[in-house]
Amino acid sequence: MHEELFAAMRQSVIDGDPDEVRVLAQRALALGIDPLEAINRGFVPGVTHVGEQFGLGEMFLPDLVLGGEAMKAAVAVLEPELARRGAQRESLGTVVLGTVRGDIHEIGKTLVQTMLSASGFQVHDLGVDVPVERFVGAVRELKPHVVGMSALLTTTMPGQRLVIEALEREGLRQQVKVIVGGAPVSQGWATEIGADGYGEDAMRAVTLVKALLGREAPAA
């Protein structure tokens, strides 16, 4: 049932076409299709395809970003109906993200945010130039499974270590996985500062978070 519609949904995400996505999501609602089914069988396979093709070098960052934005547009249309039914999209986990203090670079962090959201994680984006205390406060209040820190500058990288040290001081380090990323960041740096993981790019950040939390991709 509705296989044609689901195929069109998948394609609309691959095309990164939010207008088409909204039309198809509305059509699903009009047909009385379970919004969760529309997400998981229609739109998510599109994101998965884009991610796989990106990994193969056949698709590129603009495809990832536009696909992620299209996915957000789908969820925005379907969410009110989900709420009305008392259901919610199964979250794979909660992630807090931010670019560290003194650094206002946004691209990498936003890519990770887009891909994690599209993959089914609930993401709280603290933005850029985030002070240590805000990371710590967000961990205390939101109790995320993962906190991710971005730094694009060699001069701001040490801010990632400061956050980890602060989480340890506050007794919060054991309750959260810490991941780091950014152009000058490496696995060696992640190990040195006691982070739980490092992702080379946004797709690998998703793989990393899933691995750290022992999560499987949502059923397509």
Partner 1 sequence: MRPHVTLLDEALLARITGEAITLLGETGARVQAPAAQALLADHGATVADGIARFPEPMLRAALATAPPRFHLYDRAGAPAVEYGGERSHFDPGSSCVNVLDPDTRAQRPAMAADLVRLVQVAEGLPAYAAQSTAMVCDEIPQEIADLYRLFLVLWYSGKPVVTGAFSAGTTRAMLALLEAECGGAAALRARPRAVFDVCPVPPLLWSDYAGESLILLARAGVPAEIVSVPLAGATAPVTLAGAVVQHTAECLAGLAIHQHAAPGAPVVWGGAPAIFDMRTGNAPMGAIETAMLNAACSQVGRSFGLPTHGYLCGSDAKVVDAQAGLETGMAALTGVLAGISMISGAGMLDFLACHSAEKLVLDAEAIAFAQRFGRGIEARGESLALAMFARTGRSGEFLKLKETRNLFREEQYLPSPVIDRASLRGWQDAGALDAFARARARADQLVAEYRRPALAPEREAAMLTLMRAEAARVGLTTLPGT
* Residues contributing to the site for partner 1 (CB under 8 A): 57, 60-62, 104, 107-108, 111, 154-155, 157-158, 183-184, 201-202
Closer to partner 1 by CB, 9 or 64: give it. Answer: 64
Nearest-CA neighbor of 76 among 112, 22, 24, 119? 22
Give min distance, CB of 34 to partner 1, in A.
Answer: 36
Give min distance, CB of 80 to partner 1, in A.
Answer: 33
Looking at 100-167, which runs of residues are DSSP E strands?
122-125, 146-150
Closer to partner 1 by CB, 24 or 115: give it. Answer: 115
Give min distance, CB of 180 to partner 1, in A.
Answer: 15
Give min distance, CB of 132 to partner 1, in A.
Answer: 14
Q: 67 CB contacts (<8 Å, ≥6 apart)? A: 13, 14, 16, 46, 47, 50, 118
CA 179 to chain centre: 13
Give min distance, CB of 188 to partner 1, in A.
Answer: 9
- C-alpha span between 20 and 3 (Å, rounded): 17
Closer to partner 1 by CB, 40 or 99: give it. Answer: 99
Closer to partner 1 by CB, 61 or 76: give it. Answer: 61
- C-alpha span between 47 and 26 (Å, rounded): 19
Copy the structure tokens of residue 159: 């801010």
Closer to partner 1 by CB, 79 or 106: give it. Answer: 106
Give min distance, CB of 112 to partner 1, in A.
Answer: 10
> What would the DSSP string read from start to end of 60-104?
-HHHHHHHHHHHHHHHHHHHHHHHHTT--PPP--EEEEEEBTT--
Closer to partner 1 by CB, 61 or 220: give it. Answer: 61
